[in-house]
Structure 1
Amino acid sequence: MANSHRTTRTLENSSEPLDTTDQLIARRRGWTSKIFNDLVEKYGFFSRRRLQVSAIEPPESNDGEPMPETRTNGFTGDERSQKLEIILELQVKLDTTLYQITKFDNVLRRGRSGARAPIDDDRSDDNHLKDLKRFRADALSEKIQILIRDTCLMFRWSCCLVKELEFSTEDRLHNYKSQIDQSTAIVTQSVKHIIKWVTSNEFIIVQENWQININYMNKVLVKLTSRINLGGAEGAEDDDDDDNVYYSDYDHNYEYVSEDEDGPEMKDLSGAALQFARTAIPIIKLSRLFFNRLAMIKEKEFALGPYTEMSSKQLIKLKTSARDIRRCVARLYGIMIQADRRIPGNTIKNLRKALDHLIQIFDSVILLLINYVIPLMIPPPQDDPHTSSQSDILKNWLVTWNYLFLSATRESITAANVFANTIL
């Protein structure tokens, strides 16, 4: 009599004879599992062969047909057999695709493409290379590595799932299907990131990490405003580790220390220091506004293709500008809240250094925008001379913003001198 519940039954240990269909399914399942494992071994992160493309054997079939040893004629009517056959065919296509991607990544890492000359290491004169600028190529290679890593993880879970099929449904120990679904979503996202990096305008690409730094600037602004509104005392809502984040970008040219080095609490700011600290608020707000405004520029506002005449060195400077400004804002915050504990002359010197660095970064970014980005934006309609183009609007905005920013920095220096005279 059959048991009322299903029991575990492996193909190897079963004493019951297997019919021909079950034998074929078992072999196909074994092939499927092995191929998934072989793909991980072939393209995995720690594979020595992947680091040297010449050591990777090309797929046995490059025409999308299944590999010879996987073809099993005469038993295509079983649904399980058909599904395994589809998986085996997809494995060959995946192998072919990953092989081509790996070869392409090797081209990127070598800095060559066919007869092209090597990309200069200083990244200063590759503006003519378009999609093979080091700015694009280096980051694209990193994203390809992430894609291969994520894909291999999906293969690993798939291998485990196929092995689990040997057991009855109720006796399977892991929910590998859920993990495969998650891995598939991650791989899909990796593919989208690569497509965006390849097809988007360079100015859109450089904004990739701006929002993180904008958020940091906003945190500094909230923290400084809270301190000022509380009369210089540190509020209860500030009992976190945010200060450590601001001070992590420590520069030995600036004479301030982290909160940990002076005890768990900052001293209350004096009235003169509060007046001085207030002048940092418009500087931080304008810094944040600058990148928020540039981030509003969309792909559709560019008339030409995805490439600018900027070199990789210039593109990297533009890409890291938000991070550099955030670091300056962090230094500015440190100067303000420690003004009472520093020699006034050193406070003024450090303030000038921080503001000069801010101005220098913004000047270089504005220059890049005027020379390389704004000329690529869609011009106004020729039949409507009264309509302002987006490029004209942006240029006028930059002029106004620059005037306000320089005025804010001058007011801060004036306030620093007043603060110093009050202390002396």
Structure 2
Amino acid sequence: MERNIDKKGKFFIAAIIGLSAIFTPIVSSSASAKENLETYNWTREDVSNLTINAQNTAPEIKKDELVEMTSESYIWDSWPLQEKNGHPAVVNGFKIIFALSVPNDVLPGKRHDTAEIHYFFSKDGKSWESGGPVFKDGDALGSRQWAGSSIVHKDGKLQIFYTATGDKNETQLSYDQRVATATADITTTNTSVTFENWSDHEIILEPDGEYYQTNEQTGPEESSYAFRDPYFFQDPKTGEEYLLFEANSAGKLEDRSYNDEYIGSVKFRQNHENPESSKAFNGSIGIAKASNQGLSKFNILPPLLEANYVNDELERPSVIVKGNNYYLFAKTHSEKFATGLHAPEGLYGFTSDSLFGGYQPLNESGLVIANPTDNPYQAYSWMVMPNGTVTSFVNYVNVDGKDIYEIGEQSPDYQMEHFGGMLAPSLKLSLTRNESKIVHEKKQGVFK
């Protein structure tokens, strides 16, 4: 998600170190809960098994045939209002979706600097009406908001979890990231949806420095810092409630130790060159367990997955359950893989018969959906719904072989012309044990 490309083509990750004080953890830990948790290592060997084929390549997106949800704004990372079981919610006949948004005169590569969450509603799930910003001006925490998730409680209240980025009223952009939440009543008429009677916004998760890297622990050699993208998950097997989130493995680069398990099997390691620069890649998928009914207190737990020496940005993680299998997903950019690994912009997934531990990469490598090789940036921010529908947004299309850095060197007109900033056609995904395949393309913006 966090790409910022300035007008000179310089590429900045919107998770670069900010000048901020160390985070003070506000989440409690449970030693007994951690004893049986096993963190899966996504290895360089796994990624080296990757093949791009018809079963994992998305159809080409034809931007000119798509419809903008709003003519005034770009939208990108999106998610539906969900029931606690993960299925899209319907409130008095309305479906509701949320998305990051900026006015469409903002240079696409700079959109994360001013992002706020907007919402849209529809009765047919096809034609969407804009409700505008979710939060009243000044209510949200941080200087801007990044992605999250939203659920509806049994009493009809909305609860939204989001990334509060930067500091309110800051004069220079900073990149502190915390997970925040707030609740509101959902009010509907025959033609509209509004949110009223908001609670106070509160920070509910911050990196602890033990499992998850703090901003202060991040050094200049590391291109990314992340503690963001909360995703609510209720385990259907236990009823227990969690937040997943994107993070980085804790500790400073100079203190980070090498582990053979990061690379792969003995046979693979014998013939694989592991560049020293790979040490700076430390993406992870974190998890915290709710400890109160109001979902405002969480016990932070060890990561479900780490990608040390492999990848440093595993964005918008989520999990669904099908049969006895848990399917864990995350998205990442091609340039976020460590030196020596070659993998596409795409959706990656892992499966286990337990929420904690035992994960294996889908399709032997983890690759689930890749953009076409001749349109490598056409979509991003894929989200898998419980029925296998996969949503995303239109990113950069028809860029004539330019890589993401070269796109940033083009004129503002070029960047705006080739950026989508709208919902993409959804895809249908088939999941069978440890394999996945794209079944077919669905209509634009279908969440169910």
Scaled by the length of structure 2, the TM-score of the pair is: 0.19
- Provide the TM-score with structure 1 as the length reference: 0.20
Q: Which has the higher contact order (CA 8 A, sep 6+)?
A: 2
Larger fraction in helix: 1
Greater share of strand: 2
